[in-house]
């Protein structure tokens, strides 16, 4: 509760600078002779000065909320144009995926069909389930809102890379994603990366893909995903949408 102090003059308005010259002179004269009022004025001087700086909030235009929220949603849902524009430092959302056994079997079976005769030798040595992975990595977008998990397994002289993501947006017709093995020193303009293959998410936005590649993950230890415009240019010159998270 505020302590009740009797003052003899209009100190509040004096401190707020709201008195005219004559009134102000009167108060100041009083302060010269009244210790109680002087103490009260000194006590409230800083408060009055702060009050003068008070800044009221202002309601923004009504549609700003929708604009701001949809800008965030674009980022969150991985609109790649926005991801590039964001250029954020990697923000890693720890995502621990159990690698489902069913998927592994299905993946192996699908790969066996796809590789056919040519890959028959390799797959003959594949135990059917993924063996000991040489590389297991999580990929994330720059803002951490999209991710994938990948595993590279040695199969014969080559490697099988499996990639899974539920976050990659479905692309317009003609565009596709590419998965890359990335080596040291890779940068735009001077790439050091080898394509593992290209893919599309399915109609539910899920990507479960398996590629075979003759790449040593010791030499190319990182994986990235790019969005390719489908312009027939095979060179690696598109920005990364997802990147391996460094352990």
Q: Which residues in this chain contact other proteins in the complex, by CB under 8 A?
A: 2-3, 5, 7, 10-13, 15-16, 18, 43-44, 46-48, 50-51, 53-61, 64-65, 67-69, 71-73, 75-76, 86, 88, 91, 93, 143-145
Least separation in angstroms between residue 165's CB and other proteins is 15
Q: Which is nearer to other proteins, 54 or 98 (CB)?
A: 54
Alpha-carbon span 243 to 246, nearest angstrom: 9
Give Cα 15 distance to the centre of its chain: 50
Q: CB nearer to other proteins: give 64 or 109.
A: 64
Find the shortest distance in angstroms from Cβ 236 to other proteins: 26
Based on CB atoms, which residue is closest to other proteins, 11 or 223?
11
CA distance linking residue 173 with residue 223, whole number of Å: 25
- What DSSP designation does 62 have? T
Beta strands across the sheet bearing 158-165: 193-199, 176-182, 222-228, 240-244, 133-140, 147-155, 158-165, 207-213
**CA-based nearest residue to 151, from 159, 138, 162:** 162
| Tokens standing for residue 79 | 């609109």
How near is the Cβ of 119 to other proteins at its closest, in Å? Answer: 39
CB 227 to other proteins: min, Å: 20
10 Å CB burial of residue 10 (0-12, 13-18, 19+) is middle
Task: Give the nearest distance from C-beta 110 to other proteins in angstroms.
Answer: 30
Cα separation of 126 and 189, whole Å? 37
Instruction: For other proteins, give the closer residue by CB, 6 or 218.
Output: 6
| Residue with smaller CB distance to other proteins, 15 or 179 | 15
């Amino acid at each position: 509760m505020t302590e009740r102090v009797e003052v003899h003059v209009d100190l509040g308005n004096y401190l707020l600078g709201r008195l005219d010259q004559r009134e102000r002179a009167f108060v100041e004269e009083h302060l010269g002779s009244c210790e109680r009022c002087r103490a009260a004025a000194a006590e409230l001087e800083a408060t009055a000065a702060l009050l003068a700086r008070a800044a009221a909030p202002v309601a923004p235009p009504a549609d700003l909320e929708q604009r701001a929220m949809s800008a965030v949603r674009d980022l969150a849902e991985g609109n790649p144009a926005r991801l590039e524009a964001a250029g954020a430092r990697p923000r890693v959302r720890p995502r621990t995926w159990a690698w489902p056994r069913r998927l592994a079997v299905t993946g192996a079976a699908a790969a066996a069909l796809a590789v056919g005769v040519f890959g028959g030798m390799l797959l003959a040595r594949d135990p059917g389930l993924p063996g000991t992975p040489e590389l297991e990595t999580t990929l994330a977008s720059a803002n951490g809102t999209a991710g994938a998990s990948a595993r590279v397994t040695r199969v014969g002289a080559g490697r099988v890379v499996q990639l899974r993501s539920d976050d990659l947006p479905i692309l317009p017709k003609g565009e596709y994603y590419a998965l890359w093995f990335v080596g040291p020193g890779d940068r735009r303009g001077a790439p050091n990366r080898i394509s593992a293959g290209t893919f599309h998410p399915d109609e539910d936005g899920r990507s479960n893909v398996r590629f075979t590649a003759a790449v040593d993950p010791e030499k190319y230890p990182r994986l990235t995903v790019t969005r390719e415009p489908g312009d027939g240019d095979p060179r690696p010159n598109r920005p990364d949408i997802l990147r391996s998270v460094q352990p």
